[in-house]
């Protein structure tokens, strides 16, 4: 189960840390503010989006070879296209974590991570192994390099 160093490559991950409100913007892309009791308050659209932590560099490999037993362990609803195996507790991966294998991490105008630049999203983590854990990855199809794993 151990991955030889020669098969590992540099990648990045960003943990899903919560949700943040989406604000209304003017024609120039600046946040629109309203005044209430003498204070400026950003005008929200009522929508929210995922918020991610800073990208963290790590070395591992991703395999597209999924067994039927692995897919069944995560349930029939999981549409995983790849897996990553690592030492127990080595990474804090959880559902929603983004992984960049070949692509560059990109940012939105507001400075937050652009989730569409990621190659994979963690769909589930099998953290019950004594020595090794696995996470199932969904290839993000809007990114052309994601399918080239």
Mean pLDDT of 98-120: 92
The span from the CA of 135 to the CA of 82, in Å, is: 9
Give the global pTM: 0.78
Q: Which of 112, 108, 140 is nearest to 16 (CA)?
A: 112
Taking the CA of residue 120 as centre, how many other CA atoms within 13 Å lie in the half-sphere pointing to its CB? 30
Taking the CA of residue 119 as centre, how many other CA atoms within 13 Å lie in the half-sphere pointing to its CB? 18
- Pairwise pLDDT comparison (80 vs 61), residue with the higher score: 61
Looking at residue 116, what is its pLDDT? 93
Alpha carbon distances (Å) from 43 to 15, 50, 124? 27, 18, 35
80 pLDDT band, cuts 50/70/90, is low
pLDDT higher than threshold 80 for residue 146: no
Can you tell me whether residue 103 is helix, strand or coil? coil
pLDDT higher than threshold 50 for residue 91: yes
pLDDT higher than threshold 60 for residue 62: yes
Average pLDDT value over all residues in the chain: 84
Q: Is the Cβ–Cβ distance between 139 and 149 less than 8 Å?
A: yes
Q: What is the pLDDT of residues 8-48, one digit of tens each?
A: 899 999 999 999 998 999 998 888 999 999 999 999 999 99
Residue whose tokens read 């983004």: 98
Looking at residue 44, what is its pLDDT? 93
Go through the domains of the chain in sequence order and give each one's CATH number.
Answer: 5-20+51-147 (2.40.10)
């Amino acid at each position: 189960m151990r991955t030889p160093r020669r098969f590992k490559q540099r990648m990045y991950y960003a943990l899903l840390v919560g949700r943040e409100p989406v604000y209304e913007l003017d024609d120039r892309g600046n946040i629109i503010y309203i005044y209430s009791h003498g204070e400026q308050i950003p005008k929200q659209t009522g929508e929210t989006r995922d918020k991610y932590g800073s990208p963290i560099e790590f070395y591992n490999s991703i395999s597209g070879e999924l067994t039927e037993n692995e897919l069944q362990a995560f349930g029939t609803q999981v549409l995983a296209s790849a897996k990553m195996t690592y030492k127990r507790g080595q990474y804090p991966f959880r559902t929603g974590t983004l992984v960049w294998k070949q692509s560059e991490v990109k940012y939105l105008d507001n400075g937050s991570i652009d989730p569409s630049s990621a190659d994979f999203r963690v769909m589930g983590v099998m953290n019950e192994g004594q020595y090794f854990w696995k996470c199932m990855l969904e290839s993000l199809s809007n990114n052309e390099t994601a399918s080239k794993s």
